[in-house]
Amino acid sequence: MRVWRRILKAKIKEIEEKFDSEIRNVSLPEHLEETRVKYLGRKGVLTSLLKQVSALSNDEKPVFGKLLNDLKNNINTKISEKLVDIKSAKKTETKLDITLQGNKPVIGHKHPLTLITQEIKEIFFGLGFETVTGPEIETEYYNFEALNTPADHPARDEHDSFYITSKDLLRTHTSPVQIRVMEKQKPPIRVIAPGRCFRRDATDATHSPIFHQVEGLAIDTNITFGDLKGVLEVFAKQLFGRQTKIRFRPDFFPFTEPSAEYAFSCVNCKGKGCRICKNTGWLEIGGAGMVDPEVFKMMHYDAEKYSGFAFGMGIERIAMIKYHIHDIRMFFENDIRFLRQF
Ligand code: 2U9
């Protein structure tokens, strides 16, 4: 290939590469126009190159002309393609009106059981109770024996349990957490233990095999049943309003003596009787009592020196009363229409 043709080709290649690098960083139509003029304008790179054609021989001219023409077309093509890109980018850019309201991110909701648990923690924190937690898989010792519920104790049936091994089970209440606290800590003790519990209960509107409980324990010198009544009364009023009353009736639990079940005056009818409280005026909340001396013995606490009270309640129960929910399954079916109300 004749020398001049190779030089020409190299020149054209060099121009094209230079053009490509220049156009790559162009982002505005006006700059694109400047580039176009620089290359294709009257005083443009190509135009000046074209002027040299006159100097060539007749058989050289068409080759040179074609090469230049191809370059010109390429440049034109690339310029129109670039304009399209710039416009489309501009369109999106222009479309992006930052003053416009952003798309509201869908913020999740705290689950109603979490809300109630937090409220309960805050109330008892105010009463000097520290929140403690413990393992959901427990040994029979911590879930039963340490709580004065030996193997043959009828109360065990109530707690029909999910056994993992012959000795380990899913805890049926959070009482083992308090036992672990008593092992580690000497009185005074003021703790509440909220958490998940598991019982082999058939699911219905008020029972679920997985449910949440909060239990409380206070141990010190001369703790009385009066202290228990006082604490639960303050809790009731702070949770459901100062008009709420509390009622204790005798009951039995292996780990408390004396024991009682306690109820709050109905939040709906204020005690006059309605469908919610089955016309009793009272809503049963849970059980409580003075820590059974047997439990103190198991924990090597001097039952003569120390006394304590304990109580328990179902968190789903409290949430159903507070939020007027009539079916416990609502908490576990993850229906967004239900959950987003909270
Ligand atoms: C220790 C000593 C005593 C915790 C207690 C209850 C009564 C009780 C129920 C409430 C609703 C279970 O979820 S529920 O069905 N619990 O009624 N719980 S006294 O007694 C203890 C705990 C720990 C060391």
Buried b (16+ CB within 10 A) or exposed e, 180-203: bbbeeeebebbbbbbbebbbeeee
Region 229-233: mean pLDDT is: 98
pLDDT at 94 over 70: no
Beta strand pairing call for 246-253 and 256-265? antiparallel
Task: Return mean pLDDT, the chain.
Answer: 91
Alpha carbon nearest to ligand 1 atom 18, residue? 312
Token pair listed for 148: 């004065």
Amino acid at 178: Q
In whole angstroms, what is the distance from residue 85 CA to residue 284 CA? 71
Lowest mean pLDDT among 97-111, 222-236, 279-293, 294-308: 97-111
Q: Which pLDDT score, from 0 to 100, does residue 267 have?
A: 94
Name the DSSP class of 101: P
Phi-psi region of 193 (alpha: psi -120 to 50; beta: other; left: phi over 0): beta
In whole angstroms, what is the distance from residue 289 CA to residue 253 CA? 8
Q: Which pLDDT score, from 0 to 100, does residue 114 have?
A: 97
Q: How far does residue 235's CA lie from ligand 1's centre (Å)?
A: 16
pLDDT digits (tens, 9 = 90+) for 155-178: 676 568 999 999 999 999 999 999
Who contacts 259 (Cβ-Cβ below 8 Å, separation ≥6)?
250, 251, 252, 253, 287, 288, 289
Q: How far does residue 302's CA lie from ligand 1's centre (Å)?
A: 21
Asked if residue 286 has its Cβ within 6 Å of ligand 1, the reply is yes
Bridge partners, residue 181, by sequence: none
| Look-up of token digits 């156009």 | 23
Name the DSSP class of 98: T
Q: Ligand 1, residue 286: give the atom nearest the CA.
A: 10
Q: Which pLDDT score, from 0 to 100, does residue 233 have?
A: 98
Q: Measuring CA to CA, how many Å separate 244 from each of 120, 129, 166, 187, 260?
A: 16, 21, 45, 31, 18
Amino acid at 94: T
Q: Ligand 1, residue 256: give the atom nearest the CA.
A: 3
Asked if residue 289 has its Cβ within 6 Å of ligand 1, the reply is yes
- Residues of the chain by 3-state class (helix, strand, coil), percent to 5: 45, 20, 35
Asked if residue 312 has its Cβ within 6 Å of ligand 1, the reply is yes
Q: Ligand 1, residue 261: give the atom nearest the CA.
A: 17
How close are the terminal C-alpha atoms of the chain, in Å? 82
Query: For residue 70, which phi and psi values (nearest 5 degrees)?
Result: -60, -45
Asked if residue 308 has its Cβ within 6 Å of ligand 1, the reply is no
| Angle CA 318–249–157, to nearest 5 | 70
Hey, how many other C-beta atoms are within 10 angstroms of the C-beta on 293?
A: 15
Q: Ligand 1, residue 299: give the atom nearest the CA.
A: 24
In whole angstroms, what is the distance from residue 280 CA to residue 274 CA? 7
Name the DSSP class of 120: H
Instruction: Between 4 and 17, name the one with better pLDDT.
Output: 17
Asked if residue 311 has its Cβ within 6 Å of ligand 1, the reply is yes
Q: How far does residue 64's CA lie from ligand 1's centre (Å)?
A: 99
Which residue from 292, 180, 119, 122 is spatially nearest to 171, judged by alpha carbons? 180
pLDDT digits (tens, 9 = 90+) for 263-272: 999 999 999 9
pLDDT at 247 over 90: yes
- Given a contact cutoff of 8 angstroms between Cβ atoms, the answer to whether 209 and 172 are in contact is no
Candidate from 113, 255, 298, 306 with most ligand 1 atoms within 8 A of CB, to mutate = 255
pLDDT at 67 over 60: yes
Q: How far does residue 310's CA lie from ligand 1's centre (Å)?
A: 7
Percent of the chain scoring above 70 in pLDDT: 94
Q: How far does residue 247's CA lie from ligand 1's centre (Å)?
A: 17
Alpha carbon nearest to ligand 1 atom 22, residue? 175
Instruction: Between 224 and 102, name the one with better pLDDT.
Output: 224
Q: Which pLDDT score, from 0 to 100, does residue 158 have?
A: 58
Largest CA distance in the chain: 125
Percent of the chain scoring above 90 in pLDDT: 68
Asked if residue 314 has its Cβ within 6 Å of ligand 1, the reply is yes
Asked if residue 175 has its Cβ within 6 Å of ligand 1, the reply is yes
Asked if residue 215 has its Cβ within 6 Å of ligand 1, the reply is yes
Q: How confident is the model at residue 62 (pLDDT cuts 50, 70, 90)?
A: confident
Q: Which pLDDT score, from 0 to 100, does residue 91 have?
A: 62
Q: How far does residue 272's CA lie from ligand 1's centre (Å)?
A: 29
Q: Which pLDDT score, from 0 to 100, does residue 44 have?
A: 87
Asked if residue 306 has its Cβ within 6 Å of ligand 1, the reply is no
